[in-house]
Amino acid sequence: MSEVSGQRTERRIVPLPGAQVAMGLAGRLRLTRLLGRFDERLVMTAFMLVNGFVTIAILAILAMLTRTPFVFPSLGPTAFLFFFTPTLPTASPRNTIYGHALGIACGYGALLACGLTHAPPVILAGVDFARVLAAALSLSLTGALMILLKAPHPPAGATTLIISLGIVTRPFYLLIIELAVALLTAQAYAINRLAGVDYPLWAKKG
């Protein structure tokens, strides 16, 4: 409590987003007494450190073994949404699967429209007018379609740029990207449900 102008006011303690996942898992693992000694922010930090490492490491090992892009940059923000704000619609399986699928389709569609399907990536060839057009087209279409289909998932904006900038362009690899998204989503479902979070199987009702 704090005292302002002679009046006593209560300070509201707002739970950290994602803390319910960490605390729920602690309960399952019978670590609540131990974790009760530490600040909630430290508990959440430790959870994100360990869980983020494990979830992405699994996909990175798959990428190493198969020599395919089972791990790519936009999986990072997706994982963060899954475990820090799991109850938001943007973190639901539906929005995640649809969002990245739209990003992949729009990214590759922009490459086709601009004649860049066989062009080297921007990191090698630099940015020319065709690449500017492809990047702008892919991102604008991805955002517009996510709004139209009521499936916003911000990390999908990075996925579409990964493709339209030429970093990943082979059609088979694009399928692998969506499969990686599905595997990460399955991990999120298992972990959030184990923690007792009301995480939807597909989409949040209501």
Give me the chain's average pLDDT, please: 88
Scanning the chain, the segments in alpha helix (DSSP H) are 19-28, 32-35, 40-66, 75-84, 93-114, 122-125, 129-148, 156-164, 171-194
Q: What is the pLDDT of residue 129?
A: 97
Q: What is the pLDDT of residue 42?
A: 82
- What is the domain partition of the chain in residue ranges? 21-25+27-194
Q: In terms of pTM, does the model score above 0.85?
A: yes
What does the pLDDT look like over 137-148, one tens digit per residue?
Answer: 999 999 999 999
Q: What is the pLDDT of residue 38?
A: 72
What does the pLDDT look like over 18-35, one tens digit per residue?
Answer: 666 766 766 666 566 656
What does the pLDDT look like over 116-129, one tens digit per residue?
Answer: 999 999 999 999 99
Q: What is the pLDDT of residue 18?
A: 66
